[in-house]
Amino acid sequence: MSATGIGASVKRKEDIRFITGKGHYVDDLNRPGQAYAYFLRSPHAHATIDKIDASAASKSPGVVAIFTGDDIAADKVGGLICGWMIHSKDGSPMKAGAHPALAQGKVRYVGDHVAVVIADTLAQAKDAAEKIEVAYTELPAVTDTAKAASAGQAQIHDVAPNNTIYSWRLGDKAATDAAFASSAHVTKIDFVNNRLIPNPMEPRAAVAEYDSGVDALTLTTTSQNPHVARLVLSAFIGLAPEHKLRVIAPDVGGGFGSKIFIYPEETVCLWAARKIDRPVKWTAERTESFLCDAHGRDHVTHAELALDANGKIKGLRARTIANLGAYMSTFSSAVPTYLYGTLLSGQYDIPNIDCEVDAVYTNTAPVDAYRGAGRPEACFVIERLAEVAARETGRDPAEFRRMNFVKSFPHQTPVIMTYDAGDFAGALDKALALADYKGIGQRKAASAAKGKLRGIGFSAYIEACGMAPSQAVGSLGSGVGLWESAEVRVNPVGTVEVLTGTHSHGQGHETTFAQLVSARLGIPIENVSVVHGDTDKVQFGMGTYGSRSGAVGMSALSKALDKIEAKAKKVAGHVLEASEGDIEFKDGKFTVKGTDKSIDFGSIALNAYTAHKFSGQELEPGLKEGAFWDPTNFTFPAGVHICELEIDPQTGVVTIDRWTAVDDFGKLINPMIVEGQVHGGIAQGVGQALLEGAHYNSDGQLVTASFMDYCMPRADDLPSFKIETIETASPSNPLGIKGCGEAGAIGAPPAVINALTDALGHEDVAMPATPQAVWRAAKKAVKRAAE
Amino acid sequence: MVHVSMAVNGRPASADVDPRTLLVQFLRENLRLTGTHVGCDTSQCGACVVHVDGRAIKSCTVLAASCDGAQVTTIEGLAQGGKLHPMQQAFQDNHGLQCGFCTPGMIMASIDLVNREGPNLDEATIRHGLEGNICRCTGYHNIVKAVAQGAREMGAATPKAAE
Q: Radius of gyration of chain B from Cα atoms?
A: 16
3-state secondary structure A189-230: EEEEECCECCCCCCCCEEEEEEECCCCEEEEEECCCCHHHHH
Q: Is residue A610 exposed (0-12), middle (13-18) or buried (19+ Cβ within 10 Å)?
A: exposed
B91 with A15: Cβ contact below 8 A: yes
The three-state secondary structure class of A710 is coil
Q: Are A141 and A107 in contact (CB under 8 A)?
A: no
Residue A1: its pLDDT value, please?
67
Name the minimum distance, in Å, from the CA of A560 to any CA of chain B.
Answer: 27
| Residue B37 in contact with partner chain A when CB distance is under 8 A | yes
Neighbours of B80 (CB within 10 A): 8
A201 with B28: Cβ contact below 8 A: no
**Amino acid letter at A167?**
S
Structural domains for chain A: 31-139+204-283 (3.90.1170.50), 299-468+633-786 (3.30.365.10), 483-629 (3.30.365.10)
Q: Is residue A753 exposed (0-12), middle (13-18) or buried (19+ Cβ within 10 Å)?
A: buried
**Following DSSP, what letter does each residue of B77-130 receive, concatenated?**
GTSBTTBPPHHHHHHHHTT--SS-SSHHHHHHHHHHHHHHH-S---HHHHHHHT
CATH number of B86-157: 1.10.150.120
Measured CA to CA, the distance from residue A63 to residue A590 in angstroms comes to 65
Residue B162: its pLDDT value, please?
43
N-term to C-term CA, chain B: 43
For residue range A242-280, list pLDDT tens digits in order: 999 999 999 999 999 999 999 999 999 999 999 999 999
CA pseudo-torsion sign A260, A261, A262, A263: negative
For residue range A197-248, list pLDDT tens digits in order: 999 999 999 999 999 999 999 999 999 999 999 999 999 999 999 999 999 9
The three-state secondary structure class of A772 is helix
Cis check for the bond before A768: say yes or no (omega within 30 of 0). Answer: yes
**What's A344's DSSP letter?**
T
Pairwise pLDDT comparison (B161 vs A248), residue with the higher score: A248
Which chain A residues contact residue B95 at CB under 8 A?
11-12, 672-673, 675-676
Which chain A residues contact residue B134 at CB under 8 A?
201, 707, 712, 714
For residue range A488-528, list pLDDT tens digits in order: 999 999 999 999 999 999 999 999 999 999 999 999 999 99
Residue A787: its pLDDT value, please?
75
How many angstroms from the chain centroid is the CA of residue A110?
A: 25
Across A107-115, average pLDDT: 98
**Following DSSP, what letter does each residue of A399-452 receive, concatenated?**
HHHHHHB--SSSEE-SSS-EE----HHHHHHHHHHHTTGGGHHHHHHHHHHTT-
Domain map (residue ranges) of chain B: 2-77, 86-157
Q: Is residue A579 exposed (0-12), middle (13-18) or buried (19+ Cβ within 10 Å)?
A: exposed
Measured CA to CA, the distance from residue B45 to residue B135 in angstroms comes to 8
Asked whether the predicted pLDDT for residue A762 surpasses 90, the reply is no
The three-state secondary structure class of A373 is coil
CATH number of B2-77: 3.10.20.30
For residue range A646-666, list pLDDT tens digits in order: 999 999 999 999 999 999 999
Residue A674: its pLDDT value, please?
97
Asked whether the predicted pLDDT for residue B163 surpasses 50, the reply is no
**What's A239's DSSP letter?**
S
Residue B159: its pLDDT value, please?
67
**What's A695's DSSP letter?**
-
| Residue B131 in contact with partner chain A when CB distance is under 8 A | yes
A28 vs B34, B74, B141: nearest CB: B34
Which chain B residues contact residue A672 at CB under 8 A?
95
**What is the model's pTM?**
0.97
Measured CA to CA, the distance from residue B44 to residue B21 in angstroms comes to 19
For residue range A687-744, list pLDDT tens digits in order: 999 999 999 998 999 999 999 999 999 999 999 999 999 999 999 999 999 999 999 9
Phi and psi at A306, nearest 5°, equal: -105, 130
Measured CA to CA, the distance from residue A470 to residue A461 in angstroms comes to 25
The three-state secondary structure class of A625 is strand
**What's A94's DSSP letter?**
P
Which chain B residues contact residue A682 at CB under 8 A?
139
CA pseudo-torsion sign A661, A662, A665, A670: positive
Asked whether the predicted pLDDT for residue A151 surpasses 90, the reply is no
